[in-house]
């Protein structure tokens, strides 16, 4: 059982919002459209679309406590400008990413040593590290129909276009790919798919596609407006094997949707957004947290001045707004959240904050603790559960299921990380365990 504690900062009880860094608009950058990634060293890495010494965007590093270091400023040379997408860390520990305008694919070390891997690339979106050790991605333009392409990039900069979008299988992808557990790649396109007659002309609202390793793009689903329109973000694969995503518009209220789709293309609309209460324009994708639920952001709307929201949605579609931006604490989040190693959520806003140039924030959400499989060494059991740093937990047990009361196992534990472990030298006694999140 999980108990929420109350705090006035969030729309949902127990949600704590903290700004870690306000961008100044100078050499540190501004308008961070992309989300963050947490490196192997525990620091967070990201990009800003503008600002830096040349005004064309930056790569930065931030410690968990909010100390920011600018690592690189784009020049609009071979490196391009305006990086829009989150970076990914390779198996070699380096960071890989793209710049969107006059585009390029690049590599940068955690210390800031920068190298262009491929340039020019026709408006590339974010990279995905695949099982074969290569990176895969999409371009918004280019290909046989100028409707975008799918490409492969090696770590030493060998770039190959693998397939072209045709319009029928999708057109103009704004997002990268996700590799499914079946080895294939899945994604969305902003337009293309099956044309719909709107009373005046034929229009398209975007598509969901599958890309096989033999180079074939297959359209799985076409949006029609009522079930969503124009997906900007990519997909994620949930732990149940289905894919989940968002659209910027469409749905019952025209403000965007969250949907589920199976690998074979069976589509389920999970939620239609209402601009005033839920937010609207879902440019950011979803993140599945340790509690199994999905979390995301909206670019605008919400009950706190229209600066956008942070929301939770369960795999079955139960929707809750957790937080609403008001401008002073940021505005217009256009990227997916990430869950840090401490269990908290981290994200960016493109605008707002003290200087009006966006910020980096941390959101503490009292997630339901999930017990992991119990490990036993001799007569000692190790109990591990998903946790959120600085929140308090109590482990309890009873010896059989007919007992009414639970007994505390030790004292209250305050988590220091995203997982917490205690031991129970229970001998040969049978016990049943649960973990409570305390007020």
Cα 26 from Cα 180, distance rounded (Å): 40
Cα 77 from Cα 205, distance rounded (Å): 34
Strand partners for 301: 307
User: What would the mean pLDDT of 268-288 be, rounded to a whole number?
Assistant: 97
Quote the pTM value.
0.94
In this prediction, residue 8 carries a pLDDT of 24
Does one domain contain both 141 and 176? Answer: yes
Share above pLDDT 90 across residues of the chain, in percent, rounded to a whole number? 88
Q: Which residue among 364, 399, 425 closes a domain?
A: 364
Do the domain assignments include residue 4? no
Cα 351 from Cα 256, distance rounded (Å): 21
Do the domain assignments include residue 77? yes
Handedness of CA 345, 346, 347, 351 (dihedral sign): positive
Do the domain assignments include residue 196? yes
Contacts of 334 (CB under 8 A, 6+ apart): 33, 283, 284, 297, 299, 350
45, 262, 297, 343, 360 from 338: Cα distances, Å:
12, 23, 11, 10, 12
Residue 246 in this model has a pLDDT that exceeds 80: yes
How many helices (H) and strands (E) in the chain? 0, 37
Q: Which residue among 304, 334, 364 closes a domain?
A: 364
| CATH code of the domain covering residue 158 | 2.130.10.10
Does one domain contain both 262 and 301? Answer: yes
Does one domain contain both 297 and 403? Answer: no
| CATH code of the domain covering residue 394 | 2.60.40
Does one domain contain both 325 and 405? Answer: no
Q: State pLDDT tens for residues 64-74.
A: 999 999 999 99
Q: Residue 396 belongs to what domain range?
A: 375-437
**Which band of pLDDT confidence, cut at 50, 70 and 90, is reported for residue 7?**
very low
Cα 103 from Cα 106, distance rounded (Å): 10
In this prediction, residue 168 carries a pLDDT of 97
User: What would the mean pLDDT of 218-235 be, rounded to a whole number?
Assistant: 98
Q: State pLDDT tens for residues 290-324.
A: 999 999 999 999 998 899 999 999 999 999 999 99
Cα 250 from Cα 231, distance rounded (Å): 10
Do the domain assignments include residue 266? yes
**Residues 30, 360: contact at Cβ < 8 Å?**
no
Residue 255 in this model has a pLDDT that exceeds 90: yes
**Which band of pLDDT confidence, cut at 50, 70 and 90, is reported for residue 14?**
confident
Specify the number of domains making up the chain. 2
Do the domain assignments include residue 7? no
Do the domain assignments include residue 9? no
Q: State pLDDT tens for residues 40-50.
A: 999 999 999 99
Strand partners for 245: 259
Share above pLDDT 70 across residues of the chain, in percent, rounded to a whole number? 96
Q: State pLDDT tens for residues 88-126.
A: 999 999 999 999 999 999 999 999 999 999 999 999 999
Does one domain contain both 280 and 407? Answer: no
Does one domain contain both 56 and 174? Answer: yes
Does one domain contain both 324 and 244? Answer: yes
**Residues 394, 436: contact at Cβ < 8 Å?**
yes
In this prediction, residue 175 carries a pLDDT of 97
**Residues 127, 108: contact at Cβ < 8 Å?**
no
Does one domain contain both 327 and 382? Answer: no
Residue 414 in this model has a pLDDT that exceeds 90: yes
Rounded to the nearest integer, the mean pLDDT of the chain is 94
Does one domain contain both 47 and 170? Answer: yes
Print burial letters for 257-287: b (CB count within 10 Å at least 16), e (below 16): bbbbbebeeeeebbbbbbbeebbbbbbbbbb
Residue 4 in this model has a pLDDT that exceeds 60: no
Do the domain assignments include residue 277? yes
Does one domain contain both 52 and 161? Answer: yes
Q: State pLDDT tens for residues 386-401.
A: 999 999 999 999 888 8
Does one domain contain both 359 and 390? Answer: no
In this prediction, residue 5 carries a pLDDT of 22
Please count the other Cβ atoms lying within 10 Å of the Cβ belonging to residue 378.
7
Q: Which residue among 320, 345, 364 closes a domain?
A: 364
Do the domain assignments include residue 52? yes
Does one domain contain both 415 and 345? Answer: no
Strand partners for 376: 381
**Which band of pLDDT confidence, cut at 50, 70 and 90, is reported for residue 16?**
very high
Please count the other Cβ atoms lying within 10 Å of the Cβ belonging to residue 375.
12
């Amino acid at each position: 059982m999980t108990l929420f504690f109350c705090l006035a900062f969030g729309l949902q009880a127990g949600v704590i919002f903290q700004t870690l860094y306000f961008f100044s608009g100078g050499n540190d950058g501004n308008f961070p459209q992309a989300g963050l990634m947490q490196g192997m060293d525990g620091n967070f890495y990201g990009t800003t679309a503008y600002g830096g010494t040349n005004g064309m965007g930056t790569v930065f590093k931030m410690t968990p406590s909010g100390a920011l270091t600018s690592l690189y400023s784009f020049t609009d040379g071979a490196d391009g400008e305006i990086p829009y997408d989150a970076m990914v860390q390779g198996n070699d520990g380096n960071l890989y990413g793209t710049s969107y305008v006059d585009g390029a694919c690049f590599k940068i070390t955690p210390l800031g040593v920068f190298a262009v891997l491929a340039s020019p690339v026709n408006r590339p979106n974010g990279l995905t590290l695949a099982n074969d050790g290569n990176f895969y991605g999409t371009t918004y333009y280019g290909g046989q129909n100028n409707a975008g392409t799918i490409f492969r990039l090696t770590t030493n900069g060998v770039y190959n276009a693998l397939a072209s979008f045709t319009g029928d299988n999708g057109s103009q992808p704004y997002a990268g790919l996700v590799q499914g557990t079946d080895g294939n790649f899945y994604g969305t396109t902003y337009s293309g798919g099956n044309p719909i007659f709107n009373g005046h002309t034929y229009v398209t609202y975007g598509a969901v596609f599958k890309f096989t390793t033999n180079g074939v793009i297959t359209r799985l689903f076409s949006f029609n407006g009522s079930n969503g329109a124009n997906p900007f973000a990519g997909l994620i694969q949930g732990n149940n094997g289905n894919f989940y995503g968002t659209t910027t518009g469409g749905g019952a209220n025209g403000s965007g949707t969250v949907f589920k789709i199976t690998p074979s293309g069976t589509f389920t609309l999970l939620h239609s957004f209402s601009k005033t209460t839920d937010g609207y324009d879902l440019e950011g994708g979803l993140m599945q947290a340790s509690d199994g639920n999905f979390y995301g952001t909206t670019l605008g709307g919400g009950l706190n001045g229209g600066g956008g929201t942070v929301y939770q949605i369960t795999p079955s579609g139960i929707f809750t707004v957790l937080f609403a931006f008001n401008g002073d604490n940021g505005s217009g989040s256009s990227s997916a959240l990430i869950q840090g190693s401490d269990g908290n959520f981290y994200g960016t806003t493109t605008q707002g904050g003290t200087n009006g140039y966006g910020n980096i924030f941390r959101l503490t959400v009292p997630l339901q603790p999930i017990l992991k499989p119990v490990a036993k060494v001799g007569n000692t059991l190790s109990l591990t559960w998903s946790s959120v740093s600085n929140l308090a937990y109590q482990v309890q047990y009873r010896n059989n299921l007919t007992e009414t009361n639970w007994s505390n196992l030790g004292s209250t534990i305050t988590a220091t990380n995203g997982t917490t472990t205690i031991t129970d030298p229970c001998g040969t006694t049978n016990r049943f365990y649960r973990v409570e999140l305390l007020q």
